[in-house]
Structure 1
Amino acid sequence: MSGNRLRLTEKLSYGFGDMGFSLPYNMASGFLLLYYINVVGLPAAVVGTIFLVARLMDAVIDMAVGIAIDRTRSRWGRTRPYFLFTAVPYALVSVAIFAVPGDWSQNAQIAYAFVTFKLLGILMSIGSIPYTALMPMMTDQRDERLKLGGMRSIGTSVGVVLGTAAVQPILAAYGGEKEPGGYLAAAAMFGALSLICILSLFRNCKERVVDDAPQRFAILPEIGKMLRNRAWLVSFLFCLVYFVRFGGMMGITAYFAIEVLRAPWMIGVMLPAVAGMLLLSAFFAPPILARTGIRKGCVIVLAIAAALFALLPMVENQPTVFLAIYIAACLANSITITAAFTMIAETVDYHEWLYASRKEGLLSAGVSLATKVGMALGTAGIAFVLAAAGYDPEAVTDAAREAIRWTYYGGVIALLLAQIGIVLAWPMDGEHTRIRADIVQRRLAT
């Protein structure tokens, strides 16, 4: 059964499913680097290695989860069992990562940090890959998918706002950024919210568009088909670059505000602005992208965001102007995340058109890997920059400040331009209706 219009409750539950998975992850992205280096006292280079190695290991894990989804047959469907059984462990581990024992040796703390961070990534894979695979199963209508992408952007934005802006007052209540109790309290609160959101996703969202592909299939040939799927390759690279930039900004913004702008209060504006603009764009991104198409729309807004970011170094000493330009750049760029969510769903249609099988799990796993590796590369890259610049939180040098400044500006602009080059290769604009018609005709024939 396909083509159904979705109930508002279902759309909302789908959107806040992203909040459930991203809220603890966003707090980790925004504050784990700060927590490990400035609170626990781990060396910056070691922290960067933890982030990078843990995420590179996800290559195998994510593929295994994707294959498992395509082989799953249950009374709850192919994706929904994973929401039910990961909700509680994910909430618990999201608290554990901010509970590094202070009286352990540094080597033991490093081991604890790696294990808990790796567990968070594994559980994120087991929950978020089915979540991504669910969208093309809920409907095959592009306008409905754009709306689901908008709802997911809302969930993402709320997760980022809570995972960043809400952390600052909690830390202040516990004595500031160097006191471990605030991190633990915030993580516990967000873990509870995550649990509620993921269980709501399980209860209210349904699978409608599923094929009759056999439960068992040869893995390597299917991976080969995935790599030959142009829509998937574009989605993979687009998300990879997006999340390298997102992870880097989440990791460096606190240092940039404190050491370069000399205005720690701006952390509570700059990090939430990313999410706040996602929330705003969720309402107008679907009609804009429906009119322009994904390729043209993304090129325009990414070019605007890059131009605005290039203006920021000129207004560092004018906080109001700086924030106005920064927020405008975030607003322009935020449209691309709704586009990315829709692109991921449409890779499934493109795959079925090419190969007569959908493989939602495998395709979603590949894109999920891009998001996590991108986040890891971005965050680890910032840690390595800090280490190379000789950053010492007790005695910050001018050289370290300059390294932070130009990594912040130059890295963002370069990655925005890279996304423009990637999205130009998107193959589905103007072809989606024909591809869907071919798929329906093929199904009727068989």
Structure 2
Amino acid sequence: MRDIHHAAGAGAQSLTVGTKLSYSVGNVGLQMLIAAMNFMLMIFYTDVALVAPAVAGAALLVGKVWDTVNDPLFGWMTDRTRSRHGSHRVYLIYGAIPLGIAAAAVWMVPPGLSPLAAFFWIAITYTVFDTLMTLVQLPYQAMAANMTRDYDERTSLTAYASMGALIGFFSGSVFMPMLVRAAPDARTGYALAGSFFGLVAGVAIAVVAWRVREPAGSPVQPDEADSPAMWESVRETLRTTLRNRPFLMLMSAATLVRLGLTLVQASLAYFVIYQLQGDKGDLPRYMGTLLGVVGLSLFVWKVVVDRWEKNWAYILGLALCTGGLIALYWVGPGDQRLVTGILVVVGIGMGAHWIVPFAMVPDTIDHGEMQAGERKTGMYYGLYGLMDKLARTLATVMVAGMLDITGYVPNVAQSASALQGITLMTGVLPAVCLVLAIPLLVAYPITRTRHAEMLRGSGAA
């Protein structure tokens, strides 16, 4: 029997295990794509496709310029979408296959391109992928905010979704280098692995569309489609969202954390190969250690969040992660055991980021509904997703810029300046980003008691 959840029951205190599991499957596919790109995309461009770091970084920025428009716009669209498939599920139904195809194309840079041709190829394929990713991931995330309004049940749903995300993230980061090494050559390996991951992502999204349902809404009235009125509505919804102080504080903190963690992910392959003087075969082991610890720590963080306030649990995780990242600065060639121990500490701390902020976003949406008198879930996730993706891309561009400035040359022993840049990008700068997020979380105002008061005031409890 299908796990059918009706939004009319969004105030329910609990969700079935089947519903939570069905919803979590989508994260397996989405995070598989994200992990492969976070860990391997830049080194694929520089060491396999032989594209200059500055060219690859500039091309990736093109997609993020478009993101400044498409994330809020698509968030607004999902809030107003009415179809027999529901306002969010319809995007999963029609977006699953195109997303899988676009994800595969990212890893297929033709050989021998000029710098200008490589720039356009990367810019176009990545922008198309990123647009389709937004059209699918944003509605997927927005569904969770409406599935329950219970403060602790949201943490439970997030724990299931985070476990799905971890499985996907592990698969994308660990299996990508393994599949590449199994192929006749690296270029073929990346193309085949990218195609496989695209297929898995499409199937995972299709599973969510099949198993988790929404009721059909009323159709949008003709005057609502008028272009001037549409843009005014987008601007007004955006202004209302940006007046939500707890949301802004959480989004700013999570963006800084995402920037820091993506710097680690984008630099780790360079760090292992050139600073630690390992080889590409070591990458799956280190990534597996990091993500395995993250997975085990999720159960601990669920218990911590049930007993503490969410913001303080998040702060504890960031403190642990920061300590481990700073320690990476003193790692020298061959210190493999030391790196493994550091990654264990980092993984424990990183586990908090996998579960806590995603349980906090729906609480801030409840606050916005109380403040404005209407619920605009899509716009909140649009803005949150925009800042998350900008942070990911900025981190990748920063790594590319550091490689270019410090004289990085692919596939050879690196100069002292290049090694220094790689070490800074892997440990010290990410730690600074995490530290800057902590004051925002200390001031975050929504507690378990405050959230219960909001629900009583709105009549949703």
TM-score band w.r.t. shorter chain: over 0.9
Tell me if 1:101 matches 2:110: yes
User: Which residue is 1:404 aligned to?
Assistant: 422
Aligned to 2:268: 253
Q: 1:213 to 1:414 in 2, by over 3 A?
A: farther
Distance 2:51 2:387 in 1: 27
1:195 aligns with 2:202: yes
Matches within 5 A, 1:7-406: 7-175=16-184, 179-207=186-214, 216=224, 218-264=233-279, 265-316=281-332, 317-395=334-412, 396-406=414-424
Q: State how far apart, in whole Å, the 1-side matches of 2:217 and 2:151 are.
A: 16
1:53, CA displacement in angstroms? 2.9
Query: Is the CA contact 1:156–1:275 (under 8 Å) kept in the aligned structure 2?
Result: no
Contact persistence 1:274–1:334 (CA under 8 A)? no
Q: Deviation per CA, 1:199-234, whole angstroms, max 9, x where unpaired?
A: 111112234899999995722222111111012102
Aligned letter for 1:297? A
Residues 11, 148 of structure 1: 8 Å contact kept: yes
1:10-62 C-alpha deviation (Å, 9 max, x unpaired):
11121121122221232122211111111111111111112223213201011
Cα pair distance change 1:79/1:295, threshold 3 Å: same
Between the two proteins, the alignment pairs up a number of residues equal to: 440
State the shift of 1:173 in Å.
1.2
- Pair 1:212–1:171, CA change in 2 (3 A): closer
Look up the SS of the partner of 1:431 in the other structure.
Answer: helix
Q: Are 1:439 and 2:458 an aligned pair? A: yes
For 1:166, what is the secondary structure of its paired residue?
Answer: helix
Answer yes or no: is the 8 Å Cα contact 1:310–1:409 preserved in 2: yes
Match of 2:439 among 421, 424, 431: 421
Instruction: Tell me how far apart the structure 1 counterparts of residues 331 and 119 of structure 2 sit (CA, whole Å).
Output: 40
Distance 2:345 2:220 in 1: 46
In 2, Cα distance between equivalents of 1:425 and 1:209: 39
Structure 2 unaligned blocks of 5 or more: 1-8, 225-229
Q: Aligned partners of 2:89 and 2:350: how far apart in 1?
A: 31
Q: CA deviation at 1:103?
A: 4.5
Alpha-carbon distance in structure 2 between the residues aligned to 1:141 and 1:35: 43
- Note if contact 2:68-2:386 (Cα within 8 Å) is conserved in structure 1: yes
Q: Is the 8 A contact 1:94 1:120 kept in 2?
A: yes
- Counterpart of 2:262, as a letter, is G
Alpha carbons 1:302, 1:416 under 8 Å: kept: yes
| TM superposition shift of 1:66 | 0.4
Aligned-pair CA distance for 1:386: 0.3
Q: RMSD over aligned Cα, in angstroms?
A: 2.3
- Following superposition, the deviation at residue 379 of structure 1 comes to 0.9
Displacement after TM superposition at 1:393 (Å): 1.2
Question: What is the one-letter code of the residue matched to 2:388?
Answer: T
CA distance in 2 between partners of 1:211 and 1:249 (Å): 46
Q: Which moved more, 1:212-221 or 1:297-306?
A: 212-221
What is the one-letter code of the residue matched to 1:180? R
C-alpha contact (below 8 Å) 1:86/1:123 kept by paired residues: yes
> Any conservation in 2 of the 1:30–1:250 contact (CA below 8 Å)?
yes
C-alpha distance in structure 2 between counterparts of 1:300 and 1:239, whole Å: 14
Kindly state the Cα deviation for residue 239 of structure 1 after the two structures are TM-superposed.
2.3
**CA displacement, residues 143-178 of structure 1 (integer Å, 9 cap, x when unaligned):** 2210111112112211111111111221111246xx
Question: Counterpart of 1:22 in 2: which secondary structure?
Answer: helix
Tell me how far apart the structure 2 counterparts of residues 13 and 68 of structure 1 sit (CA, whole Å).
25
Report deviation, 1:104.
Answer: 4.2
Q: What is the distance in 1 between the residues matched to 2:210 and 2:318?
A: 37
Deviates more, 1:67-76 or 1:8-17: 8-17
Structure 1 position 322, deviation (Å): 2.4
Q: Name the CA distance, whole Å, in 1 between partners of 2:327 and 2:399.
A: 22
- Aligned residues of 2:329 and 2:424 also touching (Cα < 8 A): no
Q: 1:115 to 1:315 in 2, by over 3 A?
A: closer
Deviations 1:230-277 (A, max 9, x none): 121022112211221232122111001111011124422333344323
Q: Which moved more, 1:205-214 or 1:192-201?
A: 205-214
Amino acid in the other structure paired with 1:434: E
> 277-286 vs 294-303, which deviates more?
277-286
Question: How far off its partner does 1:107 sit?
Answer: 2.4
The one-letter amino acid of 1:439's match is S
The one-letter code of the counterpart of 1:438 is G
State the Cα distance separating 1:431 from its structure 2 match.
0.6
Distance 1:303 1:210, change over 3 A: farther
- Tell me which amino acid in the other structure corresponds to 2:352: I
Report if aligned partners of 1:90, 1:123 keep a CA contact under 8 Å in 2: yes
Instruction: List gaps (5 residues or longer) in structure 1.
Output: none
Contact kept, 8 Å, 2:33 with 2:197, in 1: the verdict is yes
TM-score, normalised via structure 2 length? 0.90
Distance 1:376 1:369, change over 3 A: same
